[in-house]
Structure 1
Amino acid sequence: MSRPLPLALAQLPPIPAKAQLRDFAAEMESIRSRFPDTRLAVFPELHLCGVDTLGAQAHEQLQEIAEPLDGSRVKALGELAGDLGMWLIPGTVCERGPEGQLYNTAVVFSPEGRLEASYRKIFPWRPSEPYDPGDRFVVFDIPGTGRIGLSICYDAWFPEVARHLAWMGAEVIVNPVMTTTADRAQETVLARANAIVNQVYVVSVNTAGPLGRGHSLVVDPEGRVRAEATGDGSTILTDVIDLDDVTRVRTYGTAGVTRMWDQFTPDDTPIELPLYGGRIDPRTWRPHGHPAA
């Protein structure tokens, strides 16, 4: 069985604040025109937040444009996704929380224009980012295709995020990024590592230059780079991934050998995890949807 998911990854610079939704609509219409089979379009972190600088000035911009998820920005993005009839992750938005919090939030819209999921970045890049951290992991389903997990930029440096998303049944982890620093080279390694140790696809979409370092990429469940932007220039990276590859790799093993999700038997002794005040329980180790779960 095949479960294809045609992707368009928009490695582009942030849109200036004065023309956000108009210019974003033009970007989306261009993708639809050039790549009409696209089912999911993904943009970089803060793509719609008008951030074209760093430091205190950027923090002021973020505070000024923050809106609740029932605000006009999210409504307009939903209408755009519905008009184009595709799944849309427009990067992240600045969300104003119910008690005045500032969240860096990834939003997902269905082809019907519904706000299907939202995820607040759990690991802000401290001390440089002003956001309040989120407190939960988020996955969503594309009917007939599979389950997608959300992480944002620096989350990729914490293996707990990818592990929990995979355990929740994610077969693809989408990671919108706005990396402006020299450690993008390490992030591409982490994308492969997170894919390998969780047997999932990883989709990492970075901002283009001159602000961002680019190098967006798609990694398969065995850690192979399927598609990659080799520099920081503006580009639309396309691929068609098959989520049934996740089932294949988890069934037969990475390189036909390694099946870490089948490591434990129910009779194995739980492993204490003092760092977390918790444990690995062999009875609950396998992810949602695993044949033996």
Structure 2
Amino acid sequence: MTELSALTIAMAQYSQLPIGKPFGRFANSVRHVVDVHSTAGARPELVIFPEMHLFGTGDLPQDQARRSKIAAATDFHDELTENLKALAKELGIWLIPGTIPEQDGEGGAFNTAPVFSPAGELVTTYRKICPWRPFEQYTPGDSFAVFDIPGKGRIGLTICYDAWFPEISRQVAWLGADMIVNLVRTTTPDRRQELVLARANAIVNQTFLASINAAAPQGVGESVLVDPEGNIIRQITGSQEGLITATVQLDQVRRVHQTGTSGTNKVWEQFRPGDSPVPLPLYEGRIDPDRWSAPVD
């Protein structure tokens, strides 16, 4: 198996920008993230922003906020998309600009995370499967998304409340994600539980997990980067704006699969061909041992 090289990431725990703010403000903040850390040492290759970073609605009532986001929703063939493509290409980075309201074709919107490559291409999108009901009125997505950073590893996407449903992180890990990026805009006291879930999802799936929340006043912060054994690599304590930067070796995921968490637990080897299938009535499905194995490239 080809050894992967290290990946430098930057997680921007920044305050939301209001809908309609000139794109240049966001572009300059991304340039600053890249430039500052380029002069300090390792240049960020993957830059990540929180959920709905570009679509703040301030103190608008819920219904009005929803209408504003639907009015601003994209089909990913618009000026915003072209600007994001151009920015990623200008800086030569992988860019996850938070999430964006995407037209659902029926007058509503998905909560969608796009990913842009250093070539200026939109490489994938992920629609949030679990909107925070009853408060969020987004249309739920129904599929998963991973993308490869050549020579570095595979990244999977989840959005905020998705983290509360272990099936979603498990599926993304099964698709081979070396790191799960969870884009968040949590405003509520349950962020402390989400930090537990970030570590738990990393441990049970043996993946890196990056949980990036918005800063005050739109979020409570507390962003965290966790390794495949549940150890915290970097964390921002508090709701103030801040930046997590780290250089990670995603090959660590493969080593943990081989040696086990803490040298003990090899969860991807639990079910093996020849074992009896385990019915899962909740899903009208089953764990099929022939399909349970460590993710592969």
Instruction: Give the TM-score of the pair, scaled to structure 1.
Output: 0.96
Q: Give the counterpart letter for 2:8 in structure 1.
A: P
> 5 Å matches for 1:34-113?
34-36=36-38, 37-53=43-59, 55-113=62-120
Aligned residue pair count: 290
1:118 deviates by 0.2
Cα separation, partners in 2 of 1:76 and 1:104, compared to 1, 3 Å: same
Pick from 238, 260, 264: which aligns with 1:257?
264
1:29 to 25, 31, 40: 31
Q: Secondary structure at the match of 1:17?
A: coil
Partner of 2:195: 188
Deviation at 1:65, TM superposition (A): 1.0
Cα distance in 1 between the residues matched to 2:155 and 2:7: 11
Distance 1:53 1:245 in 2: 43
The corresponding residue for 1:269 is 276
Q: Deviations over 1:66-99 (max 9, x none)?
A: 1111222111111110111100000000101234
Tell me how far 1:287 sits from its aligned partner. Answer: 3.9
RMSD of Structure 2 on Structure 1 (CA): 1.2
Letter in 1 for 2:15: P
Measure, in 2, the Cα distance between the counterparts of 1:270 and 1:71.
47
Letter in 2 for 1:86: I
Whether 1:163 and 2:170 are equivalent positions in the alignment is yes
Separation in structure 1 between the aligned mates of residue 16 and residue 184 of structure 2, nearest angstrom: 11
Please tell me whether the aligned partners of residues 182 and 209 of structure 2 are also in contact (alpha carbons under 8 angstroms): yes
2-side partners of 1:86 and 1:284: how far apart?
A: 35
Alignment check: 8 A CA contact 1:20 1:48 kept: no
Q: Amino acid of the residue matched to residue 53 of structure 1?
A: D
1:50/1:61 contact within 8 Å kept = no
* Structure 2 partner of 1:12: 14
The AA in structure 1 aligned to 2:51 is E
Aligned equivalents of 2:163, 2:198: Cα separation in 1: 7
Q: How many angstroms apart in 1 are the aligned matches of 2:273 and 2:256?
A: 22
Give 1:223 shift.
0.2
Letter in 2 for 1:288: P
Q: CA deviation at 1:56?
A: 2.4
The answer to which of 113-122 and 67-76 deviates more is 67-76
Q: Which whole-Å deviations, capped at 9, do the CAs of 1:36-88 have from their partners, x for residues lacking one?
A: 21000000000011332362232122122111112221111111101111000
C-alpha deviations, 1:165-192, integer Å up to 9, x for none?
0101111000110000110000000000
1:247: which partner in 2?
254
Unaligned 5+ runs, structure 1:
none
- Listed as ranges, the gaps of 5+ residues in structure 2 are none
Q: Does 1:141 align with 2:156?
A: no
Alignment of 1:215-230 (within 5 A): 215-230=222-237
Q: Could you say what secondary structure the match of 2:58 adopts?
A: coil
Q: Say if 1:20 and 1:272 are closer, same or farther in 2 by CA, change over 3 A.
A: farther
Q: Distance in 1 between matches of 2:179 and 2:211?
A: 11
In structure 2, distance between residues paired with 1:8 and 1:211: 20
Q: Using a 3 Å threshold, how does the CA distance of structure 1 residues 237 and 20 change in structure 2: closer, same or farther?
A: farther
Q: For the Cα contact (< 8 Å) 2:7–2:152, is it kept in 1?
A: yes
Preserved contact between residue 93 and residue 104 of structure 1 (Cα < 8 Å) = yes
SS in 2 for 1:8: strand
Secondary structure of residue in 1 paired with 2:188 = coil
1:63 counterpart letter in structure 2:
I
The answer to whether the 8 A contact 2:272-2:293 is kept is no
Q: Call closer, same or farther: CA 1:172–1:216 in 2, change over 3 Å.
A: same
In structure 2, the residue matched to 1:278 is: 285
TM-score between the two structures when normalised by the length of structure 2: 0.95
